[in-house]
C-alpha cells in the first residue's frame, strides 16, 4: 500500500519514506547510543589516581581561577595607571600586566592538570606555587598601592577563600 504525504499526493517514484526496521532477536536495532545510559559517561579527573575528585579541577573552580588570574593581571595595570604620572603611566599600564602574564604563562609544572600539561619552562611545584601566590596576592597589593584599599581587601579575601577551596592544588604543587 503506497503512503501519501500530508497533502494526499503519493510520493515520487523512488522517494518512498524509509520503513521502520523489524525487530530481530539476534540483532540490535540501534548501533549508536540513544540514551545517556547507553553512552559511556565521562570520568571525573582526579588529582592523583585512586583519590577523590580534585576540587580545583571542577569546571566552576577553573572558571573562577581564570577570572582571578585576569583580575590579578589587570590589577597591575591599574597600579601602573594610578601610581605614576605621565608619560610613565602610559607605558606601565600595558607593561606591568604583560610582565605578569608572561611570567604566569611561561613557568609551569609539567603535567599540570589545570593547564594543557605542557610547560614552556619547567619548574618545580614549589616555585610555581610561589609564582601563583606572588601574582595573585601581588595583584591585591597593587590595588592597595594604587589607593584602592577596599578593592584590595575584597580581592585578598576572595583569593584566600579560593586557595582554601583549592587545597588539593596546593598539596599537589608542594609534592610536584
Domain residue ranges in the chain = 59-175
3-class DSSP state of 53: strand
Helix then strand count (H, E) for the chain reads 5, 2
Question: End-to-end CA distance of the chain, in Å?
Answer: 72
Tell me what pLDDT residue 2 has: 55
Assigned C-alpha cell, 103: 611570567
Give the H or E element holding residue 80: helix 59-83
Better-scored residue on pLDDT, 128 or 21: 128
Does residue 19 carry a pLDDT above 60?
A: no
Per-residue pLDDT, 153: 97
Q: Is the CB of residue 73 less than 8 Å from the CB of residue 94? A: no
Average pLDDT over residues 11-40: 53
Give the pLDDT score at 44.
Answer: 44
Q: 141 near 90, Cβ under 8 Å?
A: no
Provide the percentage of residues in the chain whose pLDDT is more than 90: 49
**Residue 49 near residue 113, CB atoms below 8 Å:** no
Amino acid at each position: 500500500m503506497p503512503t501519501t504525504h500530508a497533502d494526499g499526493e503519493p510520493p515520487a517514484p523512488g522517494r518512498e519514506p524509509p520503513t521502520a526496521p523489524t525487530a530481530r532477536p539476534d540483532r540490535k536495532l540501534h548501533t549508536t547510543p540513544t540514551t545517556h545510559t547507553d553512552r559511556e559517561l565521562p570520568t571525573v579527573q582526579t588529582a592523583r589516581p585512586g583519590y577523590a575528585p580534585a576540587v580545583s579541577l571542577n569546571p566552576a573552580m577553573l572558571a573562577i581561577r581564570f577570572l582571578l588570574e585576569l583580575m590579578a593581571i589587570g590589577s597591575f595595570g591599574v597600579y601602573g595607571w594610578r601610581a605614576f604620572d605621565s608619560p610613565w603611566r602610559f607605558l606601565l599600564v600595558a607593561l606591568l600586566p604583560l610582565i605578569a602574564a608572561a611570567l604566569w604563562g611561561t613557568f609551569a609544572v609539567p603535567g599540570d592538570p589545570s593547564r594543557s600539561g605542557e610547560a614552556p619552562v619547567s619548574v618545580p611545584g614549589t616555585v610555581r606555587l610561589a609564582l601563583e601566590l606572588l601574582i595573585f596576592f601581588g595583584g591585591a597589593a597593587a590595588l592597595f598601592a594604587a589607593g584602592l584599599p577596599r578593592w584590595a581587601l575584597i580581592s585578598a579575601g576572595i583569593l584566600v577563600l579560593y586557595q582554601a577551596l583549592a587545597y588539593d592544588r596546593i598539596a599537589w604543587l608542594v609534592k610536584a
